[in-house]
Structure 1
Amino acid sequence: MHPSWLSLIPFLLVIPISIFTRQVQPGLFVALLVGSYIIEPSFFGGIRKFLDYILLAIVKPNNVKIILFLYGFSGLLSVIKMAGGIKGFVDLVTKRIKTKKGAMALIWISTLGTFSDPDFRIVTVAPIIKALQERLKMSKRRAAFIIDVTSNPVVTLVPIATAFVGYMVSLINTSFKQNGISAQPYTVYIKSIPFNFFSYAIILIGLYYTFFMQPKNKKEPIAGLSQKKSDRVPPHPNNDLRSNPEMAAEPDDFSDIHETRLEHFLSGQNNPKIAPTTLQTNEYDKVGTGPINPMTGQAEISHSSSPSNPTTIGKMDDIKETVKGRVANAPLNTSSPKKMRTDDPYRQLYHEEYARHLGAANPSDRPEINDAGNQNGEEENTPSKPNNLIIPIVLLVCLTLFLSWWNGRTKAHSFTEAFLKVNELDVMLESVLITLILTIVLVMFQKFPIAKVVTHFINGGNQLMSVIVLLALIWGVSDVSTDLGFSQYITEHISGWIPPHFVAPILFVLGVFLSYFIGSSWGTWGLLMPLGITLAHQSGANLFLVTGAVFASGTYGATCSPLSDNSVTLCTMMDMEVMKYCKWKLIPTTIGAGIALVLFIIASFIFK
């Protein structure tokens, strides 16, 4: 088909539809369908062409290898989890960490064994840190942020033994074929890694947050003490932060201090008589003389310990006004009724936090997540076997390195050159297959039923079916764009509008915007990689720099977007509000993006 403005229609449709639906697949589906009808403008002709693009893309040998690798890798992780590898690793590490610095260092060190996939890393490391956070009173948000910056940003930089490598190389390969580029996709990916400036920037910010950032508000008044000596209330031994170090959380900021006091108050850790399950009120409001409430630092009214007496936390009208009805008419029964002082300056924040935490005082009791990081309560009887994680991961990495050298040795003149001449798809698939077979043999010797192993493998592989559908649509859109003459049209009409020095920065900014609103690094890469490589090829921009810019932009959204599955998974595991946490980490991630943008602008003038 002769190149025309019609070749732009698929790309003009896919991005706004993806942003509107916050899903990449609908945009790609519509783009492929419309492109098919442009080529075959009849009702049945367009449908047939649509199916042809999908089916012909899936059956290509390299694409089949990608699908098998992704399915097998995800199934392998599921078998490892079923065999108690993750739970065992959690138990092994949790018992050995005694300090906050040790816990923070563990997050970084654990990257060496969990770099294969961000979700795998999160479900492995987050339960460990959650348990340590509760015991050591660490800042929950800071710990979660360090897990975040060592997940997606790190995985995109690792060129072997990850689920990302196959997908990223596949996108480059597809874009090269669309533009008639003969370079080795894996080699281009390797050479683009130094230009993934956002990953490096956010990792450095994470190091700063871990080891150099000083906690704020260290002099925040502790429970039982006010600024004026005359206003002080004698502290209760169970509630004074000085006499109970377990309550002294690391004060990242005011909200962390207050949230820690709230969690202890709700969980009843400092007064076993408190059982925060329901909320009742009455009309009196008095200043108490009983034990100190850890949330307010004020004394409370002590009544009879009879379970029938209500506990009053302010007047109901005040509560409704403060929390805007979020806890209206929700009673709190306790066995030791107490009254909280209403003139406390932190009272409004207390009620807002109480509303958020209502019913969540004991997260370990929830069926969907237990201390081992298992979801939906399905893995309560999972054994604790850390070797079932360590052995497969070490085996996979070693096999990948050895087979990479073995595969490329006949095409290279030196040891290091062999790793650049490798057929990466063959190596990744072979490594996963051998590791999977040996892992199954390992768990079979441990008396795991073969039926259970097969079921978990299939369930794990099926979790990536949405990714496989995404890939099939991307391949189809790439083929229809080629048939419509997209590259030729860009060459003749558009490439001259964008100076080569600004291709990478513009793509990075576009990708940052896109990835934040769709929450998917893979989706962003799939949308922008064909466009980016086409612009780079036609304008003469540095191909490695542009490829790095596309990968960096997608990593931004996966790290900070509230729509990212990584953010949702991490917040679920750490028991945090998704929107509140994502709003907090938006500042450091955007600073990282700003640093990356400056570096892309500078690099565009240096690397031509």
Structure 2
Amino acid sequence: MDAFSVVPPIAAILGAAVTKRIIPSLVVGLLAGAVIKSGGNPLTGAVIAGEYLSRVVADENHAYIILFLFGFGALAEMFKVGGGISGFAKAVDPYVQSEKGALLSVLLVTPVTFLDCCFHVISTGTISRPLLDKTGGSKEKLAFIINTTSSQLIVLIPFATTYLGYILGVTGSAMSQAGIAGSPYMYYLASLPFNFYSILMVVISLVSIFWSFNFSFFRLADPAYKKDLPEGDHDSHEAHEECAFAEKVPPRVANLLVPLALLLLMIIYLFWWTGQAKGANSLWNAMMNADYEKAIFTATLATIVFTAVIYGIQRIPMKELQSHFLSGGTEMLPPIVILIFAWAITGVTQDLGFNSFIGNFLANNFISRPLVPLVVFAVAGLASYFMGSSWGTWALVMPMALSLAATTDANVSLTIGAVLAGGSIGDNLSPLGETPVLTAAVTDLPLTIHVNYVLPYGVVAIALSSMLYLIAGFFYK
């Protein structure tokens, strides 16, 4: 039975590679595992699949993560009607007189737009693009900065992001499958220095603001080449209706800053409160033992209520707030569904004996401990590029990566960092990625031009990251 345990994840990965659709592929993987579990009976397999799905949804920690993701998406959408974004744009406009200033405005806004990748893209695009147009700067470079600070910087922020809740869900489930004890949040924190690709891309994007790089050998740097590039499946106007803000009140920066400050303070306080309730006698011990899922969801819920109240006082119609609450939460349904099916596949593969199979066959015959981080980074990178989904890649690769790490005695934090780094590649470089598509739309660029402009920077980061994972695999045990 152990050998059949690889069928569910392989079926899901192959399905995603062929169809470029992660959710149907996860369904196929789960059904395949459930049918194997049933002894080959399709009807019984369907019942077993339903049992696995209901079991993961009923889990308390899983439920908190699902509610947190929905609530965070709703909160980000509610911020769009508060006038905070237009208030920021109005405040910084008099101080921006050059291309460098317009590009730096993306970084200036990031501390209040890091909640969610799409929210950051739309917010920074709304603020920075008019500033860039005023200075006659490069839209290609602006799109590169927006893309990188969305898809790569946010994954490195260890609090108050939609990425965090999702990563904790994927990592916790994978740790359980691999028999790794400890806090998923602590392992995530320890993995941040090992997310080499994301760190390098952020550094490269920051350096590019001050110095230009010539990648003419890629036929990308010279504007004359742009006419030769095809438009691709997405044009620059495709998502404009989705990206436009519908702010209903005059520009008010406080409508964004005050709720955001409350959210961050509530998260920190609830980390401490839930940790000290377990008997921790210091702030650090309390933070280490916190109920992270419960704390983040509770802080999000409190901020939603507070935001609705202060917006209501300003006579923003409750109907408008409800509409944005529901639409924002609905936008998070794809990652929620992916996460639920990933949890279920993890459960069925574990019950089929995946851990022992990895230990007795793959780890002992193919991959030695020092090579695990490099192999994991390569597999995750290829999967994410062809799927265009970092979240889908993390869900598929993390369980296998941590099982491999456990059986080869590879460093767990380094392995998690490699999964997160490789999975981030698609959402940065792939024409199928949500971030490149949305970034091209808000900056009014053809998708192919944007992706081809970012590609050489990404190739450099991939090459350097591969060398770092090879080196780290030998030195970190």
Interval containing the TM-score (normalised by the shorter chain): over 0.9
- Structure 1 match to 2:361: 493
Cα 1:402–1:17, aligned 2, differ >3 Å: closer, same or farther? same
Cα 1:414–1:381, aligned 2, differ >3 Å: closer, same or farther? closer
Distance of 1:417 and 1:142 partners within structure 2? 43
- Structure 1 match to 2:251: 384
TM-score, normalised to structure 2, is 0.93
- Structure 2 match to 1:314: none
Match of 2:2 among 1, 4, 29: 4
1:401 pairs with 2:268: yes
- Structure 1 match to 2:76: 77
Amino acid at match of 1:530: P
Distance of 1:66 and 1:210 partners within structure 2? 36
- Structure 2 match to 1:588: 457
Shift of 1:216: 9.6
Cα 1:88–1:375, aligned 2, differ >3 Å: closer, same or farther? farther
- Structure 2 match to 1:113: 112
1:212 pairs with 2:227: no
Mapping of 1:216-227 within 5 angstroms?
none
Contact 1:77 1:460 in 2 (8 A): yes
- Structure 2 match to 1:454: 322
Distance of 2:348 and 2:191 partners within structure 1? 27
Shift of 1:368: 6.4
Shift of 1:96: 3.6
Match of 2:343 among 464, 475, 498: 475
Which structure has the larger Rg over C-alpha atoms?
A: 1
**Structure with greater proportional helix content:** 2
Distance of 2:343 and 2:245 partners within structure 1? 36
- CA deviation profile, 1:242-283 (whole Å, cap 9, x unmatched): xxxxxxxxxx94307x98xxxxxxxxxxxxxxxxxxxxxxxx
Distance of 2:302 and 2:184 partners within structure 1? 24
- CA deviation profile, 1:353-398 (whole Å, cap 9, x unmatched): 9x97xxx9xx9xx7963xxxx6477837564332222222222112
- Structure 1 match to 2:381: 512
Shift of 1:38: 0.9
Distance of 1:400 and 1:600 partners within structure 2? 33
Contact 2:248 2:316 in 1 (8 A): no
Match of 2:416 among 543, 547, 552: 547
Contact 1:557 1:564 in 2 (8 A): yes
Contact 2:11 2:25 in 1 (8 A): yes
- CA deviation profile, 1:258-309 (whole Å, cap 9, x unmatched): 98xxxxxxxxxxxxxxxxxxxxxxxxxxxxxxxxxxxxxxxxxxxxxxxxxx
Mapping of 1:287-302 within 5 angstroms?
none
Question: RMSD between aligned alpha carbons?
Answer: 2.3
Helix, strand or coil: the match of 2:153?
helix
Shift of 1:589: 0.7
Worse overlay, 375-384 or 506-515 = 375-384
Distance of 1:207 and 1:524 partners within structure 2? 26
Structure with the bigger RCO (C-alpha within 8 Å, sep 6+) is 2
Distance of 1:192 and 1:511 partners within structure 2? 16
Match of 2:282 among 396, 400, 414: 414
Cα 1:368–1:528, aligned 2, differ >3 Å: closer, same or farther? closer
Contact 1:69 1:429 in 2 (8 A): yes
Structure 2, unaligned runs of 5 or more: none
Helix, strand or coil: the match of 1:419?
helix
- Structure 1 match to 2:90: 91
Amino acid at match of 1:34: A
Distance of 1:157 and 1:121 partners within structure 2? 14
Contact 1:195 1:544 in 2 (8 A): yes
- CA deviation profile, 1:90-109 (whole Å, cap 9, x unmatched): 33333442222222222222
- CA deviation profile, 1:64-96 (whole Å, cap 9, x unmatched): 111110111111111111223333333333344
- Structure 1 match to 2:21: 23
Shift of 1:515: 0.5
Shift of 1:598: 0.7
Distance of 2:23 and 2:243 partners within structure 1? 27
Amino acid at match of 2:302: I
1:443 pairs with 2:322: no
Helix, strand or coil: the match of 1:385?
coil
Mapping of 1:182-581 within 5 angstroms?
182-213=181-212, 253-255=221-223, 369=240, 375=242, 379=246, 383-410=250-277, 411-497=279-365, 498-581=367-450
Amino acid at match of 2:338: L
TM-score, normalised to structure 1, is 0.73
- Structure 2 match to 1:38: 36
Helix, strand or coil: the match of 1:110?
helix
- Structure 1 match to 2:163: 164
Distance of 1:208 and 1:23 partners within structure 2? 35
Shift of 1:413: 4.1
